[in-house]
Amino acid sequence: MNYLNGAPVSPRVRCRRAAISVPLAFDYAARTSAAPPVMTPGEVVDYLNCSAVELSWLRERELLTPQKWILPTNYDRAEVEAFGSQWMSTREAAARLEVEPRGLWCLVETYPIEPGLGRGFYLRCELERVLSALRSEHRARAA
C-alpha cells in the first residue's frame, strides 16, 4: 500500500497529486546547474517583462529572432539577455516603482527620455536614470 501524508492512496491518485505539486519554475542557480542555452517564448516574455504581443512585435522587426528550422520556437538565451541588458520595458519600470503600467507616465513625464523602440521599450540607461531620480524624490518626501 502507498501512503501520502500518512493516508493510504492508490498509485494513480498519488501520481496525480504529485504532478500538481511540481513547481512551475526551475531555479538553476539554486541547483548550481547552467541555464539552458535556449528560451521558450514564455520564458522570453517573463525575462523581458513584456507581453506575447510585444514579443511578436520584436520578432517582426527582427530585434529578437527565433532559432531557424527548429520547432517548437526557441530563442537564443544570449541574444535575449543582450537585448534585455540594453532595453527595458515600461512594464518592468512600473513593477520596480510598484505602480500600474498605465500610471507610470504620470510619474515619468517630467523627465526627458530619448525615443524608444516602440511598444514600451526604452533604453535601459534612460529608464534607470529616471527610476533613480523618482526613488530619490520618494525618499525625500518620506523623510
Q: What is the pLDDT of residues 19-28, one digit of tens each?
A: 443 334 445 5
Mean pLDDT of 105-123: 86
What whole-number distance in Å separates Cα of residue 106 and Cα of residue 89? 16
CA count, 13 A, side-chain hemisphere, 25 = 9
pLDDT at res. 7: 53
pLDDT at res. 139: 84
pLDDT at res. 58: 96
Which among 54, 52, 78 is positioned nearest to 67, based on CA atoms?
A: 78
What whole-number distance in Å separates Cα of residue 40 and Cα of residue 24? 14
Mean pLDDT of 129-141: 87
pLDDT at res. 16: 43
Q: Which residues contact 96 (CB under 8 A, 6 or more apart)?
A: 131
Mean pLDDT of 17-37: 55
